[in-house]
Chain A
């Protein structure tokens, strides 16, 4: 079965620190993977996507993610957290015309 697992429902970092949000996938076919962000009381916004091209994907707001087939991972990183990054982040898997969401990771940024 195809699925995504996000490790850590809550992550807290200090402003300026590295952000690392973890996502592992399970798939019998080459996956298409996405990271979406949901700010409080707002809709979901696409951060970045992997669709079998470059394994290191750069997104908006300084975020990037690396697809590692050997580790079945697609972790999201940002070198320096900003207060405005506080939000909920979802790793999403696409397969057979459907999108499957991970459980989400709420990022808290401390001043």
Chain B
């Protein structure tokens, strides 16, 4: 099946710094990628939808200047958390969708971000 990777799997950063998370589709081209955030013991909340070559579409309440999303190629999307604060600590998960599989998404393993 389709494989999506995320890097890093865990990251600890200091408050005020920025951190970049990569999401890659390893064996297929993903025209659309999604970024989710999962708080402890809670469900996944969609943050944004990114389409290759165009600006990401952010969900209501998500600060686009804080969570920068770039989908520069058909196999790579990045999420940069700028000026991170402890409240940004969370589990970030990406998913990717093949062009021919409208109703399926393949999830990455997630990135645990801890801001100290």
Contacts and interface: CB of A to CB of B under 8 A. Distances in A.
Looking at chain B's contact residues, the main secondary structure is strand
Interface residues of B, number: 19
A22 B27 CA distance: 34
A90 interface: yes
Contacts of B43: 90, 101-104
A44 B103 contact: no
Interface string B78-116: 000000000000000101000000011101111000000
Given A43-B109, A44-B93, A94 B46 contact: no
A47 to B, nearest CB: 12
A49 interface: yes
A99 B34 contact: yes
B34 to A, nearest CB: 7
Interface in B36-85: 36, 42-46, 49
Given A42-B109, A43-B109, A104-B43, A97 B32 contact: yes
A51 interface: yes
Given A43-B93, A98-B46, A103-B43, A32 B103 contact: yes
Contacts of A104: 42-43
A97 B109 contact: no
Contacts of B4: 43
Contacts of A32: 103
Interface of B: 4, 32, 34, 36, 42-46, 49, 93, 95, 103-105, 107-110
Interface of A: 32, 34, 36, 42-46, 49, 51, 90, 94, 97-104
